[in-house]
Structure 1
Amino acid sequence: MIELRHLRYFIAVAEELNFRRAAERVHIDQTPLSRTIRDLEDRWGVTLFIRAPRRLELTPAGAKLLDHARSLLIRLERARRAVRAVDARYREPLRIGVDDSTVQPRLAECLSRWRQLVPDVSVELTEMHAAELLVALRNEEVDVGFSFGLQDDEAIAQQPAWHSPMVAIVSPEHELAERTAVSWTELLSFPLIACTAAFHPGLYQQVASILRQQGLFPVIAAEARTLSGYLTRVAVGQGVGVADADHMRTLQRSDVVVLPLAEPAHFTTYVLYKHQRFGLSQPVQRFLTHVSTLM
């Protein structure tokens, strides 16, 4: 009797013809991989590989087993999918991490449409800070994420999901509060409430980019770690601020006045995922295609 791991390890070695590369492929050390192949040969009483210095070759018996092993694993995978397709209890959810500053209606709309399109794939939603989201994506604790942007990481892809207009926000007592629109120059003649780069790197970078384009260098009145702290500082008159229109429509705070900007700008929300050596799973690929239709 042999186990499935014997066939999986054998296929990896037969296709790579290199124990080191095969070990990396199946995520085990080279020694137990080599031992498993020897065990398979001993159990069946055959020689599957010609082991020459700096060279590994399949024997005729090994070539024949490779054909059968591939066929068996394909049939087994088809059987697994067929069984799981009729038992929703074993369907893996799509795990989505959400930066806790992303409370836009567009996200709810995105997930609602996904549920209508793919009702058999459930969604597991987890809110977290930007730094936590980056770690969760790296460790594959979530499949995809939504954020205004994370720190650059070569392992993580960040693709635009949608845009939201940028608006000015001031306290009701502020002298700009009665205006129907305000220019960047007018707004930033007053001290600005900023978000911290460490807690909200995407928001910080997007605002900084707009300010560079406008050639503006505002006085920073204070820095906020959370969205509620940011809005509270604006509401009590510590400084002016900028926010995205979708957030402000959602929150509907009476203690903050929202003003359109005379020179339009927007915030970008990104969908994030980890690059995979052997490609993304089918549900993740399908979800990313769905998100791309929302732009």
Structure 2
Amino acid sequence: MINISHIYAFLELLEKRNFNAAAESLHLTQSGLSRKINAIEERVDQRLFERTTRLVRPTRAALTLARHWTEAIAHYQAGLAEISSPDFDLSGPFLVGVSATSRYGEWQNLSDMFVKAFPTVTVRIETMPSQDVAFCVRNGDLDVGFCGGPIADEKLGVVRIEQIRYRALLSEQHPLASRQSLQLKDLQGASVSLVSAKTWPRVREPLDALLARHGLQVSVGYESNFLDLVLKHIIEHGGIGIHPVAKNYLLPRGVVLAGMADLDLVLENFCIWRKSATSPVVRSMVNLVRRQFADAPDTETPAR
């Protein structure tokens, strides 16, 4: 068995290529470092360094050991870091609110990662509209939320996790269904199927404003609190709708997606939590989100 301190000494000498420099870095005497290297050479029955006047040159055996031992040391250090983390023994209930659009986006990947990292935490998921997610997180009824923005509450921590583009949803029987891309003018005079403006204000308000701004004569022929019912209506009536569709959402048979070249509209989804929260489980989820979306810094939105 080779002492791990001997391995550290070996790797340091390999890096420095000089006994004096390596010994100083390790706070050893040169003779002490030499004894560690000799002990390894005796154990593996191989010469590891060719010694010259000032420098040492690693042999092929040394380079082979270095490749494996560097990886082993990295795993050794990672293991120590993991078990010494204050989050290592996390357990208990964790209540997460997820909006319908967030549910089929990045949340799926994040939830899988969190459950694997903290298997003893009991995660319960509540699906609700975005405005209800924000309300419940702020009031402490939810630990963390994933919902559509904007988020305008100085008491909440916020990280943007994705942007979901609005797209046209068409029945396969619709005259425009064969086209890969539509334009807003194609909606002129159309009767569209949409989610309810009351239940889904963060989806409908920007869409309604954009359609009005373009002066399009578009009527809402059908709306529902549930996207599934909107899609059902589109299929049964050969209709058309507009909605932000997350990447993991599975459309039913009979509905096709089409982009809209001049519909520059996205729904931004966020991870939110109370800034005053002290739960280590909340902190762990927030840290996971921040690591995954390092290029999307926390969004501090002033209160209205």
Cα pair 2:93 2:122 within 8 Å, conserved? yes
1:150/1:127 Cα in 2 relative to 1: closer, same or farther (>3 Å)? farther
The corresponding residue for 1:283 is 284
1:251 partner SS: coil
Paired residues of 1:138 and 1:156 also in contact (CA < 8 A): yes
CA distance in 1, matches of 2:121, 2:251: 30
> Does 2:196 match 1:200?
no
Query: Residue type of the partner of 1:143?
Result: D
Residues 1:255 and 1:262: Cα distance change in structure 2 (over 3 Å)? same
Which aligned pairs between 1:97-136 and structure 2 lie closer than 5 A?
Answer: 97-115=97-115, 118-119=117-118, 122=121, 124-130=123-129, 132-136=132-136
Are residues 294 and 110 of structure 1, via their aligned partners in 2, closer, same or farther at CA, if it must alter by over 3 Å?
Answer: farther
In the alignment, the residues of structure 1 paired with residue 228 and residue 295 of structure 2 have an alpha-carbon distance, to the nearest angstrom, of 27
Does the CA-based 8 Å contact 2:102-2:246 persist in structure 1? no
1:138-196 Cα shifts (integer Å, max 9, x gaps) = 33122211122378555445543201232211112111111121112203431122222
Matched, 1:251 2:250: yes
Shift of 1:293: 3.5
* Structure 1 counterpart of 2:249, one-letter code: T
* 1:127 aligned counterpart, secondary structure: strand
TM-score (norm: length of structure 1): 0.58
Return closer, same or farther for 1:152/1:188 CA change in 2, 3 Å cut-off: farther
Matches of 2:198 and 2:153, distance apart in 1: 15
Partners of 2:98 and 2:127 within 8 A in 1? yes
CA distance in 2 between partners of 1:172 and 1:114 (Å): 38
CA contact (8 A) 1:162 1:269 kept: yes
What are the ranges of 5 or more consecutive residues in structure 1 without an aligned counterpart? 1-81
Q: TM-score, normalised by structure 2?
A: 0.57
Contact 1:134/1:150, CA 8 A, preserved across alignment: no
What RMSD in Å do the two structures reach over aligned CA positions?
3.6
Q: Are positions 1:223 and 2:213 aligned together?
A: no
Unpaired runs of 5+ in structure 2? 1-83, 297-304
Give the superposition deviation at 1:233.
Answer: 1.8
One-letter amino acid of the structure 2 residue matched with residue 263 of structure 1? D
* 1:98 CA drift (Å): 0.7
Overall identity of the aligned pairs, in %: 16
Match runs of 1:51-200 below 5 Å: 88=89, 91-115=91-115, 118-119=117-118, 122=121, 124-130=123-129, 132-149=132-149, 155-156=155-156, 159-200=159-200
Name the residue aligned to 2:293. Answer: 292
Question: CA 1:108–1:188 in 2, change beyond 3 Å: closer, same or farther?
Answer: farther
Shift of 1:110: 2.4
Over 3 Å counting, the alpha-carbon distance change for 1:283 and 1:94 in structure 2 is farther
Paired residues of 1:149 and 1:203 also in contact (CA < 8 A): no
Which residue is 2:261 aligned to?
A: 262
Taking the aligned partners of 2:200 and 2:120, their CA distance within structure 1 comes to 30
Deviation for aligned residue 1:121: 7.1
Conservation of the 8 A alpha-carbon contact between 1:183 and 1:261: yes
Give CA deviations for 1:220-277 in whole Å, capped at 9, x if unaligned: 1122111111111221227421123435x63232111211212253332222223428
